Structure 1
Amino acid sequence: EIDPNPIRLKPVELIEFLPVPVPPDLRARLVVARSGAAATPAAMSELDTEVGKLLADAAKKVAGARLGEVEFIASCGIPVARVSAPSEESKSDDGAGAPPEVVRIGDAAVLARDTARCVVSDFVPAESDENGVFSTADAVLFRHLLDDTRTVEWHRKPTADTSCGLVVVHFGAMAAMTALSGTGRVLRSFDCGPGNMVMNLIVQNAAALGLEPKDPKDETLAEKLRAGEMRFDEGGKIAKGGRIYHGRTKDAPID
């Protein structure tokens, strides 16, 4: 039996937002951990502790003198990589392969210790499909959502089913890239690193990519973009300057 009265939820209000930069040395080691090079258990454990301290410092800066009033802190850590267990080890009792896991660092125990607050962690569900590729699961959705981007002319070309007609990038904990053919078939789909790292790279190279602030008179922001000094799109000023394309693609496929 369904209650006809809809459930009314109170909107979530963002009270405070504070960017906390990652020290250059720690950032460099996170990149190493992401690549898998020299990511030894000892190095990962050290990073886990350091990121936990960084998260604690961020929480204390945001809360300030009111930290004692905070009931709990929720942290899903920082995603750095996706790993898969060896094929034999990853098989369950029914023979099915276990999906890979996203490695997140940022020791919740350190966060709780340094803030003296209750910390909720490890609440992010599995982020991959049964084949172990999160982006492939998204590809099915992309195919339907972006169906209208195919023109009749391109759809009828002899190579429509084998050549790339559209590339879609999805930003989540792990960014994913999917190449679709002119007929909507998934040609290739793969992860391309933690979503925040990909977004940071785009913002840092905004000028080269032709991204501009919405307000052409914002000379301060424009200069930061030219100098590559921005780490994130503060206030969404770059995103607000974007244009939504409502038409259909007319160009040849992207090679």
Structure 2
Amino acid sequence: MSLPPIRETIRQHGLSASKALGQNFLLDEQLLDRIAAIPGDLHGQDVLEIGPGPGGLTRALLRAGANVTAIEMDRRCLPALAEVEAAFPGKLRVIEGDAMGIDPATLFPGNYAIVANLPYNIGTALFTGWMSGREWPPQWTSLTLMFQQEVAQRIVAEPGGGIYGRLSILSQWRARARIAMKVHRSAFTPPPKVMSAIVSVVPIPAPPGVDSPVLEAVTEAAFGQRRKMLRQSLKRLPGALDALAALGIDDTRRAETLSVGEFVAIAERLSA
């Protein structure tokens, strides 16, 4: 079974992007193939896609040889996805549901990659959930995710700037995160008001002796009052000021000046 161009599929099924669901459709097949190539060779690999919509990226992943499990809560898109499923027999599994309420670990017997043009309204929440797992390395081998460019920049931000914060540390303390591609707003239908970017995240060994919830508590306290000195922002976190002193970290500094490694060192002290 051959598939019509994705634009024609959208027309045939009377689909339109739902603002309430944070949808923006990508139609350029060459661009979609480039996105599907970011995580590397996907031939025979299990891939999770969130919010496939009419299936543009889904097709690209299948063309790349992946076995795709796609979670879609918009019932209007299911007939279009069924056509993709028929065109790639045994390669696509579509699950109707809310990705926020589905544990990906229950969908795969082994490792899998996540590739998605994430709905803007749940993208950050999904990402932080995947990055916050206590077990590391995670079952997923890589994340290739479309975000608003502002969010993407926060994920890869370095210390010293106003966008460096909790999301930066969560993304970098046990993973390599990079912006793999910027995507102009004109590539979408309808065009969003902001530019987008694709972030690639690959897990690396976690620093030993650090409890993930402890690190999250440290960064929450530090950046919750980011304009204050650490002596003020961390004083209500038991043991934090003693950890600063033991590590030789000046407590007059502000959170945005500390490196990821320094936050990890504080968390290691408090996890002991």
TM-score where L is the length of structure 1:
0.28
- Structure with bigger gyration radius: 1
Ranked by relative contact order (alpha carbons within 8 Å, sequence separation 6 or more), the top structure is 2
